[in-house]
Amino acid sequence: MAKKTQDKRRLRKNCYKGGWKSARDRLNGFWDIFEKEDRVLVCINADPDALACALAIKRLLRYRVKQVLIAHPNEIRRLNNVSMVERLKIPLERLGNVKVQEFTKKIIVDSQPTHLPVFEKIEFDAIIDHHPIANGDYSSSFVDIRPEYGACSTMLVEYLRAANMKPSVALATALFYAIKVDTQDFSQQALLADGISFRYLFNIANRNLVKKFELADMRRSELKYFNIALQNLTFSKGRFYTHVGKVRNPDILVNIADFLNHVDKIDWVLVSGLHGEKLVVIFRCDGYRKNAGKLAMQIFGEVGSAGGHKEAARAEVPLKNLSLGDKTFVTNTLKRLATRHMK
């Protein structure tokens, strides 16, 4: 038993530092942590990449464990994601409705325990992610974090191929769409590995369905937020700042940030809004000698959850942590907080 524990620790260390000799070794290391009677909980912060990865894990563990359940803490409101879940009939549960203690194994994919407070309360047995490492020493039995990858779905395609498991049309469609989204059609950070996985899925996925997901982007009622964003827009030193105020769905902030990021000679875009009792801030840049994830952490890491990639990041901060007093959060507040950390 002691030797088996030592072997697992060695494997964990190798995986964490990218020391696996092959994709098959990594797959076996993942499979080794499960028993036939395990009930497995897969936790995600639901977006296309996370949804696709969770489906892939469900496929990898079929016949190997007793049960696999996918749970998410966030409400899925963005139309693209709603369309994806509905059309692919992805089975999901809200994490708040799940008794976590009833599951013998817990996995987090396309995220890390430190990304959300609700995840920090769970002891995960496996972590699979492609975001920058937020904690230098996770104690999970299996850790596979590869920040250089454009999409976590690319990693899961490698797992599936190592297992000689050809994905179903639905799974291939989810993975294909996820890689498109997270690499922004390969205009953002990506590796050759992303391209290889994308090409592998190309003739399996239903690309007509993918078009349906992509076209379901915005509600007519959300157009008013663009007007507010443009009215409050501040430009300074190649940077756009705008605070939209209260929003019914924070994903509209992402749409606004992506829209503003298309403007010529703009180096940074910061868009903020209030959702519930939280301030949500979306960061965009070109990722060239800039790091949106690092900036988000520098500004908001100590008061809320923050992080992301070089070219795109997000922060969510409880309003009570901002110490605003009687003041109202406005565009100039956002600008003031950001410029402290920007050259």
Delineate the domains of the chain, giving CATH numbers in brackets.
2-215 (3.90.1640.10), 220-339 (3.10.310.40)
3-state SS track over 227-248: HHHHHCCEEECCEEEEEEEECC
Closest CA to 33 of 68, 63, 61, 55: 61
∠ CA(337), CA(340), CA(343), 5° rounding?
130
- Give strand ranges (E) for 92-238: 93-94, 105-109, 126-129, 142-145, 234-236
d(CA 153, CA 159): 10
* pTM, full prediction: 0.69
Q: How many helices (H) and strands (E) does the chain have?
A: 13, 12
SS3 content of the chain, % helix, strand, coil (to 5): 45, 20, 40
Closest CA to 194 of 160, 129, 164, 149: 149
For the chain (length 343 residues), average pLDDT per consecutive 10? 43 50 92 97 97 98 97 90 95 96 97 92 96 82 94 98 98 98 87 96 96 84 95 96 94 94 95 95 91 94 90 93 86 93 79
pLDDT value at residue 343 = 67
Find the helix packing angle between 48-60 and 169-182, rounded to 10°.
140
CA 253/CA 322 separation, integer angstroms: 20
169, 204 Cβ separation under 8 angstroms: yes
What's residue 3's pLDDT? 42
The sign one gets for the Cα dihedral 282, 172, 113, 247 is positive
Task: Identify the DSSP state of 333.
Answer: H
Q: How many CB atoms lie under 10 A from the CB of residue 7? A: 12
Report how far residue 36's alpha carbon sits from residue 28's, in angstroms, rounded to the nearest whole number. Answer: 15
What separation in angstroms does the CA of 207 have from each of 31, 56, 192, 211? 31, 18, 21, 6
pLDDT at position 10 is 43
Structural element, H or E, at residue 263: none
Q: Is 109 exposed, middle or buried (0-12, 13-18, 19+ CB in 10 A)?
A: buried
Q: How far is CA 166 from CA 106, 109, 204, in A?
A: 25, 20, 9
